[in-house]
Amino acid sequence: MNYYAILKYLNYKLFSSHRRGHGIHSPFVFGLIEKVFRNKTVPAVVLNIENRRKQLIADKRMISVKDLGSGSKRMKGNLRKISGIARYSSIPSKYGRLLTNMAASFGGNGVLELGTSLGISTMYLAAGQKDRKVYTIEGCAETLSVARENFSHCGFSGIRSFSGSFDEMIPEFSKEGVTPGLVFIDGDHRKEPVLRYYEKVKEISCDDAVIILDDIHTSSEMREAWEEIKKDGDASTTIDINRFGMVFFRKGMARFNYVIRY
C-alpha cells in the first residue's frame, strides 16, 4: 500500500477548492472548471475505449517490457501479462475523459504524449482531436505494438506513434515543426528526468500551451518535481487535481497555484 499517496490524497481532499469553482476568482480557471472539467464526454467515445480496456484486462498474453523510466511498482520483472499492465498502468476512465476535454480545448496545435503504454490515454487524447494530430512516444517496442493494435481496433488511425527514449525523440519533433498545444507526461516517475522532459517539451510547445503531468503525488520524487515546476517563472497558472498537475502558459494572467477538487 502506498501510504505516501494516501496521505497526500487526504491532504488534497481537505484543502482543495470546490469542484464547481466556487471561490475561484480567475475567470480563466473558473471557465476551465465549468466548460472543461465538468463537460460530459461523448458516451460512444468512452464506451469504445472502455470496451477495449475490458478486453485488455482479459488478455493473458505475455510481453517483454523494457522500462526506460522508473518502471512499475506493482509489476516486477520484464515479462508481464497484458492484463496486468491494463489493470495497473492504464489511466482510469475518469481522468481519460478529462484528457479528451483538455485535448479538445487546448490541443489545436497538436498533442504530444510521453509514455504510450497500451494506448488508453492516447486514445482518450485523440478522441478530443477532430483531425487526430496526436503524437505519442513509448520506450518499449513490444508495449507499443500492443498499443497500435488497440488504435486500429478502436478506429484511431491517425495517431502517430514512435518507439524510443524521450530525450532522443523530443528534438526530432522540433525539427519537424511540431509545436503542441497540449503535452501529457506519463512515462517516468523520477524527479530529474521529469524536470528534464518538462523543460524540453516547454521549448517546443506553442506559446499558450498546457503541460499535464500524471501521478504528481505518488512518490516523494514526483512531489518534489511538481514543487519545482510550480516555481517555473514561465508558467502563469498551475492546477493540482491530485492525480494530474497542469501547467498553463497564458500571458497577462495573475500568477497563482490552485488546488482544485476533481
Q: What is the CATH number of the domain that holds 184?
A: 3.40.50.150
Q: For residue 145, give Cα distances in angstroms to 17, 65, 90, 98, 130.
A: 41, 11, 15, 25, 24
Q: Using CA atoms, how far apart are residues 170 and 152, in angstroms rounded to an integer?
A: 25
Mean pLDDT of 81-88: 95
Is the pLDDT at 148 greater than 60, yes or no?
Answer: yes
What pLDDT digit, counting tens, does each position of 21-34 carry? 555 778 899 999 99
Say which residue, 129 or 62, is predicted with more confidence. Answer: 62
- Residue 49 resides in a domain: no
pLDDT of residue 72: 47
pLDDT of residue 222: 96
Mean pLDDT of 85-89: 94
Nearest to 88 by CA among 98, 76, 68, 74: 74
- Residue 8 resides in a domain: yes
Is the pLDDT at 4 greater than 70, yes or no?
Answer: no
Give percent of the chain with pLDDT exceeding 90. 72
Mean pLDDT of the chain: 89
- Residue 59 resides in a domain: no
Q: Could you count the other beta carbons within 10 Å of the beta carbon of residue 97?
A: 21
What range defines the domain where residue 7 resides?
Answer: 3-42+91-259
- Residue 169 resides in a domain: yes
Give percent of the chain with pLDDT exceeding 70. 87
Q: Could you count the other beta carbons within 10 Å of the beta carbon of residue 62?
A: 13
Q: Using CA atoms, how far apart are residues 140 and 118, in angstroms rounded to an integer?
A: 10
- Residue 66 resides in a domain: no
**Contact by Cβ (8 Å): 83, 56:** yes
pLDDT of residue 17: 62
Say which residue, 130 or 44, is predicted with more confidence. Answer: 44
Mean pLDDT of 184-200: 95
Choose the most confident range, by mean pLDDT, from 1-5, 241-245, 250-254, 257-261. 241-245
- Residue 150 resides in a domain: yes
- Residue 53 resides in a domain: no
> What's the structural domain count of the chain?
1
Say which residue, 170 or 158, is predicted with more confidence. Answer: 170
Is the pLDDT at 229 greater than 70, yes or no?
Answer: yes
- Residue 51 resides in a domain: no
Q: Using CA atoms, how far apart are residues 47 and 80, in angstroms rounded to an integer?
A: 26
